[in-house]
Amino acid sequence: MSHHTIEDPAMLRRVLDAVLLIEADLELPVLLRHVTEETCAMTGAGYGALGVLDETRTCLAEFITVGLEPDQEEAIGARPSGRGVLGLLVANPQPLRLSHLRAHGDSFGFPAGHPPMTSFLGVPIKVRDEVFGNLYLTDKIGWSEFTHEDESLVMSLAVAAGIAIENARLHRLVQEHAVSDDRERVARDLHDTVIQTLFGAGLSIQGIAGAVPSDVSDQLGAVASTIDYAISQLRATIYELGLTGGELGIRARIISLLRQLTIVAGFEVHSSFCGPVDWAISDVIAEHLLATVREAVTNVGRHARATQASVRLSVASDECLLQVTDNGRGLGPRESREGGLGLTNMRRRAEKLGGRFEVISQGGGTVLTWRVPL
């Protein structure tokens, strides 16, 4: 069996093509999956994965797999967070080649339903000594282990993945700063001009109402009430627009999280918001809220067999209400009654904050409701 190296013209061409994809107008998950697929094809790996580290660089925030069938993906369950040999690569970002994965001292073992894997090659994804994640390959077809040439080739492709991740994060930061500047400018304009004008108009109407017949006075009173309501709505909008310090509100954080979870769900999950969610929801609630959204959407992607899902967050009457809806197969009676670890975690988070959690499921889908007091 022939073995290609990175010096082969054809192989070098494929590496360059993968690198040049960075300039293509592709979403980051699509680009990273393509890099992983190309890496498997060029090294003859039976399975491949790409793990993206979170902002703390201590655990895996995203995990893209290649080579597994959908039923295998479902049987495996939760994606790895960075333990065992994968955790070793996170803690010590150096290339690692193994002929027997299970024999390694840091091996954590495989979950039930995971296909057996033997040979292993892992390399860090880094640019200018900044680590963004790792590329993992297992089971080199026709060979007992991956070669030094494979390692060199994969490291070249890992650079392309690193540049793509860095570009995406820098682009997001630029957008966030631009949006933040615009939000603060609009908030100032609304406060300094629109609200003051409305407030003055309301005072004038109240002054006129005392000098006109009662029927006209009642009508003017209704107009004044409408102006008061408009001012209160504008104040809520100003609070949401006026976030400073580069911090993202819960609205933007949920939208960002759902964008990340697109690859897990298999489709775009839509979101909607009602009320002043950004300033009314505390950091403590926001932490549990984001974890609940992640858990709920992940469950939809892995178990619901849905084609649509939505997340709705609202604030009203001193209560935070989250609803996650999908059009999947629904939960069976036992699942609804007992729930898995994911449902248990979401229930505990709500109860810890003095709230409630419930799941209503039918054949046409599931509605998850998570509510906590503000």
Interior angle at CA 162, CA 161 and CA 168, nearest 5? 90
Of the residues 223, 241, 259, which one is the last residue of a structural domain?
241
Does residue 4 lie in a domain region?
no
pLDDT tops 80 at residue 212: no
pLDDT band for 356, please (50, 70, 90 cuts): very high
Tokens 């640019």 belong to residue: 127
pLDDT of the residue at 1: 42
Judge whether 280 lies within some domain. yes
Query: Looking at the predicted structure, is the pLDDT value of residue 235 above 80?
Result: no
- Residue 41 resides in a domain: yes
Query: Is residue 2, in this structure, part of any structural domain at all?
Result: no
Q: 347: domain CATH number?
A: 3.30.565.10
pLDDT single digits (tens) 181-191: 666 677 677 76
Give CA angle at 276 (272, 280), nearest 5°. 120
Residues 37 and 138 in one domain: yes
Rounded CA gap, 329 and 361, in Å?
9
The single-letter code of the amino acid at 215 is D
- Range with top average pLDDT, 9-13, 103-107, 118-122, 278-282: 118-122
Which carries the bigger pLDDT value, residue 245 or residue 79?
79
Q: 3-state SS string over the chain?
A: CCCCCCCCHHHHHHHHHHHHHHHCCCCHHHHHHHHHHHHHHHHCEEEEEEEEECCCCCCEEEEEEECCCHHHHHHHCCCCCCCHHHHHHHHCCCCEEECCHHHCCCCCCCCCCCCCCCCEEEEEEEECCEEEEEEEEEEECCCCCCCHHHHHHHHHHHHHHHHHHHHHHHHHHHHHHHHHHHHHHHHHHHHHHHHHHHHHHHHHHHHHHCCCCHHHHHHHHHHHHHHHHHHHHHHHHHHHHCCCCCCCCHHHHHHHHHHHCHHHHCCCCEEEEECCHHHHCCHHHHHHHHHHHHHHHHHHHHHHCCCCEEEEEEEECCEEEEEEEECCCCCCHHHHHHCCHHHHHHHHHHHHCCCEEEEEEECCEEEEEEEEEC
13 and 52 housed in the same domain:
yes
Check residue 363 and give its pLDDT: 66
Residue where a domain stops, chosen among 241, 274, 289: 241
**Structure-model confidence comparison of residues 362 and 279, the more confident one:** 279
Residues 219 and 259 in one domain: no
Does residue 143 share a domain with residue 23? yes
The answer to whether residue 150 is domain-embedded is yes
**14 confidence band (pLDDT: 50, 70, 90):** low
Residue 290 has pLDDT above 60, yes or no: yes
Question: One-letter amino acid identity for 141?
Answer: I
pLDDT band at 243 (very low <50, low <70, confident <90, very high): very low
Read off the pLDDT of residues 317-348 as tens digits, 9 standing for 90 and up.
788 999 999 988 887 655 544 445 578 888 98
Q: Are residues 17 and 153 in the same domain?
A: yes
Does residue 227 form part of some domain? yes
Looking at the fold, whether 125 and 183 belong to one and the same domain comes out as: no
Beta strand 270-274 with 309-316: parallel, antiparallel or unpaired? parallel
Would the pLDDT of 372 be above 90?
Answer: yes
Q: Is position 294 within any domain?
A: yes
Same domain membership, residue 16 and residue 151: yes
Q: How confident is the model at residue 107 (pLDDT cuts 50, 70, 90)?
A: low
Kindly state whether residues 226 and 267 are assigned to the same domain: no
**Same domain assignment for residues 205 and 331:** no
369 CB-contact burial (10 Å; exposed 0-12 / middle 13-18 / buried 19+): middle
Question: Which pair of structure tokens corresponds to residue 67?
Answer: 């080579």
Domain end position, chosen among 172, 195, 213: 172
Overall domain count for the chain:
3
Distance CA 347, CA 5 (A): 53
> Domain check: are 120 and 185 in the same one?
no
pLDDT of residue 65: 86
Q: Does residue 310 surpass a pLDDT of 70?
A: yes
Q: Which residues contact 210 (CB under 8 A, 6 or more apart)?
A: 217
Same domain for 20 and 73, yes or no, is yes
The answer to whether residue 1 is domain-embedded is no
**Which residues is 357 bridged to in the sheet?**
370
Range(s) of the domain holding residue 81: 9-172
pLDDT reading at 370 higher than 90 = yes
Does the predicted TM-score (pTM) go above 0.85? no
> Do 164 and 182 reside in the same domain of the chain?
no
